[in-house]
Amino acid sequence: MKKIEVIVPQVVVEVIKKRLKEIFGEDIKNGKRNEGYPGITIYEVEGRGLGHGDIHIWGGKKFEVNTFPKSKIEMVVLDEDVERIVENIIVVVNESELVADTKHKGKIFISTVDDCIRIRDRSRGEDAIN
C-alpha cells in the first residue's frame, strides 16, 4: 500500500476529484462505486515552496505574503494503482487552465504504508482500504 499526498493550488481540486472518479468508474447516478476507488481526504492548507513571497501594496503600505492557499489531498491506495493515479493527477493539473502559473503547480509525495486497520471491524492491510 502507498500513501499519495498531493499539494496543489485549491482551484484544481474539483478537477482532480472528477478525474479520479472517471478512472475508477464511479457510478454516481446509482450511488455505487467500483472496488479500488480510493478514499480521499482533502485539507485546505497554506504554504509555499522554494520561492519567496510576493510583495503587495495595500493602503499605500508594502507587505510580503509568505504563504499561499493550497489544497492537500491524501489517499492510501493499492501499489498497482499508484502510477495510474499519479499520472492522471499530473495530466489534469498541467492541462488545467485554472492554474495560470506554470511554475507553481504543486508536488506529489508517495510513501509506503506498513499497515492500515479499519477500526469498525479490525480488518487490516488491503482489506481495510477496499
| pLDDT, position 123 | 94
Tell me the residue length of the chain.
Answer: 130
- When pLDDT is averaged across residues 8-21 and rounded to a whole number, the result is 85
Alpha carbons 66 and 64: distance in angstroms, whole number:
6
**What are the structural domains of the chain?**
2-129 (3.30.70.120)
pTM (2 d.p.): 0.78
pLDDT for the residue 5: 96
Task: Judge whether 112 and 2 are in contact, CB under 8 Å.
Answer: yes
Residues 77-130: tens digit of each pLDDT: 999 989 989 998 998 888 887 766 667 788 999 999 999 999 999 999 999 887
